[in-house]
Amino acid sequence: MPPLVKICGLKTSEEVEAAIRHGATHIGLNHYEPSPRYVDLDTAAELRKQAAAGGVKVALLLVNAGPQLTGAAWSAVRPDILQFHGNETPEWINAVKTNTKTEAWKAVGLKDAGTLTRSLQYEGVVDRLLFDAPAQAMPGGTGTRFDWSLLVGHRHSIDWGIAGGLTPVNVAEAIAATNAPLVDVSSGVESAPGVKDMDKIAAFLKAAGR
């Protein structure tokens, strides 16, 4: 059974169409203004409709968004998933889930074994942990991978996936090394920051077994 595959940071209908056509199970829409992958809420809402029509689930990515922005984003886009990429606490995520009745994912920068222990604070709150490279100037989308061996033999009590530095060249190796049930790519299928390459999207999905 191949893993689920999320193509994140999509900005145009052409990119969404490529993700759908080549077998993605999820796409990500980034509503974080400093990111080169940022989309406004009107655009996100249109792309969400397109993805839904193609049978693909949509994650809306937020970074340390306050109550007003979180509510406005959720109301405008109505995503399948809210993906939290900042320093959001379990209490905050639980409050958002309670109010929106929407699946929640939390990105975690995986630096060492201690990170795995600390991530247990989200047990019973989030629906999936997304293990990523530790945040740098920008949370996610940096093209940096973490040490996959940290996940070998780890007993997961929360659904999970991996991101960070994945490309069409190394995704099969990453899946074999970690048995990840979901892989997430953004910069690894780009020709420039925020510009998706349709051939790379196709190659990534093929290499991931979709």
Taking the CB of residue 138, how many other CB atoms lie within 10 A of it? 16
Distance between CA atoms of 196 and 37, rounded to whole angstroms? 10
159: alpha, beta or left, given left = phi > 0 and alpha = psi -120 to 50? beta
Instruction: Give the predicted TM-score (pTM) of the model.
Output: 0.94
- pLDDT tens figures, 38-56: 999 999 999 999 999 999 9
- Could you give the domains of the chain? 4-207 (3.20.20.70)
Q: Does an H or E element contain 208, and which? A: none
Query: What's the helix, strand, coil split of the chain in %, to 5?
Result: 40, 20, 40
Confidence bin at 133 (pLDDT 50/70/90): confident
The 10s digit of each residue's pLDDT in 59-103 is 999 999 999 999 999 999 999 999 999 999 999 999 999 999 999
Phi, psi for 148 (deg, rounded to 5): -60, -25
CA 121 to CA 141: how far, in whole Å? 24
Strands (E), 81-162: 81-84, 103-109, 128-132, 160-162
